[in-house]
Structure 1
Amino acid sequence: MTVDKPGDLHRIRVADLVQPFASESAGNGPKLAPRPDGALPAVPKGFKVGIYAENLGKSRLPLRAPNGDIFLSEAAKGQITILRSTDGIKADGVSVYATGLSRPYGMALWPAGPNPTYLYVANVNSVVRFPYSVGDLKAQGEPEVVVDKISDTSGGHVTRTLAFSKDGKTMFLSVGSATNIASRIGAQPSLPLAQWEAKYGLGAAWGEETERAAVLAFDVDGRNRRPYANGLRNCVGMLVHPQTGDLFCSVNERDELGDNLPPDYVTRVKQGGFYGWPWYYIGAQEDPRLKGIRPDLKDKVTTPDTLIQSHSAPLGMTVYQAPKGAKYAFPKEYEGDIFLALHGSWNRGIRTGYKVVRVMMKKGVPTGQYQDFMTGMVLSDRDVWGRPAAVEVAQDGALLVVDDGGGVVWRIVPGK
């Protein structure tokens, strides 16, 4: 069993990558165990952790409203809920905001600032929006469909994540692949390759993978649908960095190449960029299972910024930026860094993930390093008692961690 502890630093380099199939592919999913009596996650010295909300089930993605309310998407229930706290320390109210949705995951308020007018929600097969006024605990009427027919919903990867550009004019939507390595796409796209890529973007796969493993872009009303970037197997965490305006993705890379291949990653995502899937991984490393199919792409793959331990399953992330006047603001060195939830491995003999890490940045640019921040949920190579799924910064500066394994939202603040 790997023993992680807060403060551990990691850096994985392309030059250090092992060969495909250097180890056998493991099927080692976790067994969820009850949290031991009195057990809390481990956090760095100078911080303390407590429970913000519990008994939540499989809540996933949090979103903070301007008044401090925390929206939570609950895909399995098809609903959005709201946590409200009078003291900021613990949620004392849970309201069902909307029901009848189709596996909702990503959410975003628009426009940015103190008075958004819409809550956007990404269903598995559409994007909808609700009229919103700050303080609403119930949806104001039925949702308006902004984007329909996102993708074929067969296969895996049903999370859809939303973000708006810094100027508020572009809506980004991430859509994960249907399969592990595009194993059922067939030999050729339905159009000549040059026409296909002109329509769907550089490196885009076809068949059931059309407009998948991709970030799509739209105007805020859902019009002007267009490709933004391809080759991102499953961009679950997606955000626009508030300082630089850069779009970032946290990506679950492919399985079944061995314990230590390929790394997952966090990266800036450039318009027109191609990040490898399914033909290549971590730059120009060709997947041996698709050898020789797209040699023309080898020198066109963008290598991601920060490589994460293979099979860690990075999910939700947030840039740490303390709200003005925050009582529990983190030390200044955390400002602008990314906190990332690692949900935890199944395709690895020695378990990894099940923690929150800090992706180190310098003036908005990833350094390639990441640091363990919240750990301690792994009991053995079989049992875990928590699975971090997403993070958000609370109105008072606390870091909230959604743990969908334990049904808890953890609250981390500076202190003894």
Structure 2
Amino acid sequence: MKKMSFYVPLLAAVAACGGPSKEEKAQAQADTPADTVATAAAPVDLPEPYASKSVTKRSKVIGWPAGRTPTVPGGFTITEYAGNFNSPRWAYVTPNGDVLVAESNTIPTTVKKKVAAALDLDPSKSLKPTSANRITLLRDTNKDGKPDVRETFLADLNQPLGMLVLGDYFYVANTDGVLRYAYKPGQTKITGPGQKILDLPAGGYNNHWTRNLLASADGSKIYVSVGSGSNVGENGMENEKRRANILEINPDGSGERIYAAGLRNPVGMDWAPGTNTLWTAVNERDELGDELVPDYLTSVKQGAFYGWPYAYFGAHEDPRRKGEAPELVQKTVVPDVPLGPHTASLGLAFYDQKGFPAKYQNGAFIGQHGSWNRSAFSGYKVVFVPFQNGRPSGKMEDFATGFIANEEGKEVYGRPVGVTVMPDGAILITDDAGNKVWRVSAAI
């Protein structure tokens, strides 16, 4: 099998963002710095496209039996933090320590999918007739690692995911826009009206309805992740405007600009501790074979172009977009850390506390929701990438496993998504298929 070698960069200067039109390509060319530099690290090999057959293998979610939990390394303890959710996709810790859990899921848009959802024919539990569309508040008043207050914080949303407290406002990212509400620390629910400060393109492929939020350190900017509306632009690039991007806005929604482009589905975002560098976990494209294309963790350079849909992992042209944008193919930034093909790497949190052993401090935890386009399951776990001085310093390793019950029967107990670091040093893992939030702490 012929393989194409590339290198994971330790430093990669920016490329440009653009689209398929001549005007957009010309702008991308004009915006690209001339002194593009890449410093090589360990080589990684990729097979040729279609070296293996594209396979559909969807998991069957059977739920967690009583007493069973995911598995974590020695020296750690994992327990159920809270359960009985309806697709807990994401968690956020407010400044006063409350945990907010966004409950939302994929909604069917075609007649076939609506029937399948109504009859509960989707074994992966990704497709449901409706979405809970709410945010639930959890509060641990006695600090015993288990919430004793549970309230509906905000309801009647539209597939919410990202949450943020900034100044006197609470922000939530619905699939079709960013809303903000007046907020006071400690309140257990929001009853006042929200203000939509930013419209976002909605609809589209698979699970790319999720929109995440992250504030800059000084609170002057908000970053909004928007996944693509298709696998590889097959519906026309006119349907991908403002998508496959990380957008930057002011806290009032003004001043929108594309911070980085060509990111197929950048869901998790976080700042590497001790730096001003934005990082994201990206869910890459499907249907090129078992080993293509790896999802990835990457630093995000302002103005950079990461390849979607024309190229992947640097200047590897996607054969389905062959010859359409050669200049953008050549300018594609190589991501920092490959996370395995079809893993659905979605969650991202840097460990900025001291409760875990030194090995884990400042490193990145990534939630992998799990594959559907691979002959053998990949993902279905939380992985860890060590960092030193703001850069990856070692190989990716498993951290929370045990979500797969029986691969031969395609059975899984649950599917991890988001990872959230708690002020007490524990981490939370949202399990949207298992309808639980797990808590991992270092054993005392």
Aligned length: 374
Aligned-pair distance for 1:93? 2.1
Is residue 2:209 matched to residue 1:153? no
Is residue 2:188 matched to residue 1:94? no
Match of 1:121 among 172, 180, 188: 172
Q: Does the 8 Å CA contact 1:182/1:278 hold for their aligned counterparts?
A: yes
1:353-403 CA-to-partner distances (Å, cap 9, x unmatched) read 111111221111123621110101112220000111111112211111111
TM-score, with structure 2 as normaliser:
0.81
Is residue 2:442 matched to residue 1:391? no
Partner-residue secondary structure (3-state), 2:327 = helix
Is residue 2:259 matched to residue 1:228? yes
Partner-residue secondary structure (3-state), 1:289 = helix
Q: Does the 8 Å CA contact 2:85/2:103 hold for their aligned counterparts?
A: no
CA 128–402 in structure 1, closer or farther in 2 if over 3 Å, else same = same
What residue in structure 2 maps to residue 402 of structure 1? Answer: 430
Match of 2:100 among 71, 95, 105: 71
Partner-residue secondary structure (3-state), 2:151 = strand
357-366 or 381-390, larger mean C-alpha shift: 357-366
Q: What letter corresponds to residue 136 of structure 2 in structure 1?
A: T
1:146-191 CA-to-partner distances (Å, cap 9, x unmatched) read 112x115344410011111122111111110010010121xxxxxx
Partner-residue secondary structure (3-state), 1:379 = strand
Match of 2:183 among 119, 132, 155: 132
Q: Does the 8 Å CA contact 1:88/1:396 hold for their aligned counterparts?
A: no
Is residue 2:402 matched to residue 1:376? yes
TM-score, with structure 1 as normaliser:
0.87
Q: Distance in 1 between matches of 2:248 and 2:406?
A: 42
Match of 1:85 among 130, 140, 144: 140
Q: Does the 8 Å CA contact 1:175/1:213 hold for their aligned counterparts?
A: yes
Q: What letter corresponds to residue 442 of structure 2 in structure 1?
A: P
1:192-211 CA-to-partner distances (Å, cap 9, x unmatched) read xxxxxxxxxxxxxx300011
Match of 1:109 among 162, 165, 178: 165
Partner-residue secondary structure (3-state), 1:17 = strand
Q: Distance in 2 between matches of 1:304 and 1:367?
A: 15
Is residue 2:240 matched to residue 1:209? yes
CA 14–20 in structure 1, closer or farther in 2 if over 3 Å, else same = farther
1:278-305 CA-to-partner distances (Å, cap 9, x unmatched) read 0000111100111111111232111001
Match of 1:321 among 345, 348, 352: 352
Is residue 2:413 matched to residue 1:358? no
Q: Does the 8 Å CA contact 1:164/1:240 hold for their aligned counterparts?
A: no
What residue in structure 1 maps to residue 79 of structure 2? Answer: 50
What residue in structure 2 maps to residue 302 of structure 1? Answer: 333
What residue in structure 2 maps to residue 413 of structure 1? Answer: 441
Within 5 Å, give how 1:309-348 maps onto structure 2: 309-322=340-353, 329-348=355-374
Q: Distance in 1 between matches of 2:349 and 2:144?
A: 19
Q: Does the 8 Å CA contact 2:71/2:402 hold for their aligned counterparts?
A: yes
1:8-46 CA-to-partner distances (Å, cap 9, x unmatched) read xxxx96641111111111110100013234222111111
What residue in structure 2 maps to residue 196 of structure 1? Answer: none
CA 164–242 in structure 1, closer or farther in 2 if over 3 Å, else same = farther
Q: Does the 8 Å CA contact 1:233/1:277 hold for their aligned counterparts?
A: yes
Q: Distance in 2 between matches of 1:225 and 1:377?
A: 39
362-371 or 266-275, larger mean C-alpha shift: 362-371
1:249-304 CA-to-partner distances (Å, cap 9, x unmatched) read 11110000011111000101111000000000011110011111111123211100
| Greater RCO, CA 8 A, separation 6+ | 1
Partner-residue secondary structure (3-state), 1:60 = strand
33-42 or 287-296, larger mean C-alpha shift: 33-42
Q: Does the 8 Å CA contact 1:85/1:91 hold for their aligned counterparts?
A: yes
Aligned-pair distance for 1:228? 0.9
357-366 or 345-354, larger mean C-alpha shift: 357-366
Q: Does the 8 Å CA contact 1:14/1:282 hold for their aligned counterparts?
A: no
Partner-residue secondary structure (3-state), 1:61 = strand
Runs of 4+ in 1 over 6 A off after TM superposition: none
What are the ranges of 5 or more consecutive residues in structure 2 without an aligned counterpart?
1-40, 105-130
What residue in structure 2 maps to residue 194 of structure 1? Answer: none
Q: Distance in 2 between matches of 1:169 and 1:66?
A: 17
Q: Distance in 1 between matches of 2:394 and 2:357?
A: 21
Aligned-pair distance for 1:241? 2.8
What residue in structure 2 maps to residue 61 of structure 1? Answer: 90
Is residue 2:233 matched to residue 1:182? yes
Q: Distance in 2 between matches of 1:77 and 1:41?
A: 25
